[in-house]
Amino acid sequence: MRTLEDAVVVITGASRGIGRGIAEEFGRGGARVVVNYHQSKAAAEEVVESLLKNGAKAAIAIQADVSDPEQAAGLIEETIKQFVRIDLLVNNAGINVDRSLRHMTVEDWRSVIERDLSSQFYTTKAAINHFVEQSSGAIINMGSVAGLVGNFGQANYAAAKAGILGLTKTAALELARYNVTVNAVCAGPVDTPMWEAVPPDVKASILKRIPLNRVATVHEVARAVRYLYEDGEYYTGEALNMTGGWIMA
């Protein structure tokens, strides 16, 4: 069974929200955590400080815009330089720019596809040779219920999240021979500042679709990611759908 103790874990977009929650969960397990951030340096450094106080064996913040292939590669190389190996890559970084198709611009489309989908290819591509040389490792990609069912005003986001599932399955097929697992977590709405910003009437409409009648907590998502790493060695190419019952097919 894989263990978090001393595991080197890279989490993209880890300065806040779900990424921070995952970092904290893995830190409590004794991992060596790389907190990637794009612009929020102070927030990332605060996460590192918190991790070191609460069980992490080591923690560092590394700046990189993972939607840029060179910076994504630099994130992985700096991780190897600092910790020699990489045991888990969590592809979490992402944005949303919501507009109906009629009003969505080409830049709206490209920015979300690059940040949410292409970034996962760039980091995975950069890490592959290290995983192969180790003959071990795991990749967990953060998907979304939007990639499973679509969502009004989120054509770019839903397309990116659907693409993540195809990337996950293909990477799982190609890396299985090297004892590397690749899975996705597809959550519904999560209690983050992004959810808090949703208008009350829209929240009510969304909750009507969820049999459990609530959104997930960041802790629940983080625990799901931890499960796939620690206990999920026989899972690969899978999507763990945690949607409160929204998806039952």
Of 37, 157, 229, 235, the active-site residue reads: 157
Spatial separation of the C-alpha atoms in residues 161 and 164, rounded to whole Å: 5
Tell me the average confidence (pLDDT) per consecutive run of 10 residues in the chain, 249 residues long. 94 97 98 97 98 97 98 98 98 94 97 97 98 98 95 94 98 98 97 87 92 96 98 97 88
The confidence score (pLDDT) of residue 248 equals: 80
Domain ranges (residues) in the chain: 8-241
Is 37 a known active-site residue? no
Q: Both tokens of residue 61? A: 């913040």
Spatial separation of the C-alpha atoms in residues 142 and 240, rounded to whole Å: 10
Spatial separation of the C-alpha atoms in residues 110 and 145, rounded to whole Å: 20
The confidence score (pLDDT) of residue 199 equals: 87
Spatial separation of the C-alpha atoms in residues 48 and 27, rounded to whole Å: 9
pTM, rounded to two decimals: 0.96
Which CATH number is 8-241's, of 3.40.50.720, 3.20.20.100, 3.40.50.620, 1.10.150.120? 3.40.50.720
The confidence score (pLDDT) of residue 249 equals: 56
* Cβ atoms of residues 226 and 220 within 8 Å: no
- Using alpha carbons only, give the angle 181, 184, 189 rounded to the nearest 5 degrees: 160
